A = this chain, B = another copy of it.
């Protein structure tokens, strides 16, 4: 996730979309579906311009019972070194263009909504800054280059720890930057061929719920509340 970078702001394909949408350039999020031609010259181009991946991952994460029970915290670290904190009660737009609009708004105002409790907040920061804030017990990064494992084996040792952190790359291919590799306690792979980021998110969160017996506990909670 990132804003349109300075070096390609004048590219014709971006100027065109901008005219069409009648929007301020600062609210445009880089998206390969529209900016492919402009992105050819970008460094690390194949890891960028896929807000849809972040969107799917967030929809998967925020809709889980784990999140509804306030047992999950979700952050996005952007390519341009911002950290987005997302409150568990946030309901994101299902439409990707509206999601991008929301993130554009966040880049301008640093919080959404402008008044009252913030649902999304953006602060400058590297992934290292983010981890320092989280007071993590352990950090695992998921990558097809990581050590052979399964979702069940990845989650098992985390169940009884305080604030274990899972890092999933919200990009289509390419690998983590060196800083992520360095600050992770381990890099693990849950499938030999690699999986879409949103599938990784959904499996790990469900496995965590499953091993915490949350599916059964949820029914018991509901009965108690009635």
A→B interface (CB under 8 Å): 33, 50, 52-53, 56, 59-60, 63-65, 68, 94-96, 98, 148, 150-152, 190-193, 195-196, 198-199, 202-203, 206-207, 210, 215-216, 218-219, 221-222
Contacts and interface: CB of A to CB of B under 8 A. Distances in A.
Q: Which of A52, A193, A206, A222 is the most central at the interface, judged by chain B CB atoms within 10 Å of its CB?
A: A206
A65 B196 CA distance: 11
- Interface of A: prevailing SS: helix
A166 to B, nearest CB: 16
A206 to B, nearest CB: 5
B151 A215 contact: yes
6 contacts: A56-B59, A59-B196, A148-B219, A150-B216, A192-B218, A206-B206
A172 B52 CA distance: 20
Given A203-B202, A206-B206, A215 B52 contact: no
A97 to B, nearest CB: 8
Contact of A59 (B33, B98, B198): B198
B195 A202 contact: no
Given A56-B56, A60-B202, A210 B152 contact: yes
Contacts of A202: 60, 199, 202-203, 206
A11 B64 CA distance: 37
Nearest to A33: B95
A195 B63 contact: yes
Contacts of A63: 195-196, 198-199
A152 B215 contact: yes
Nearest to A221: B192
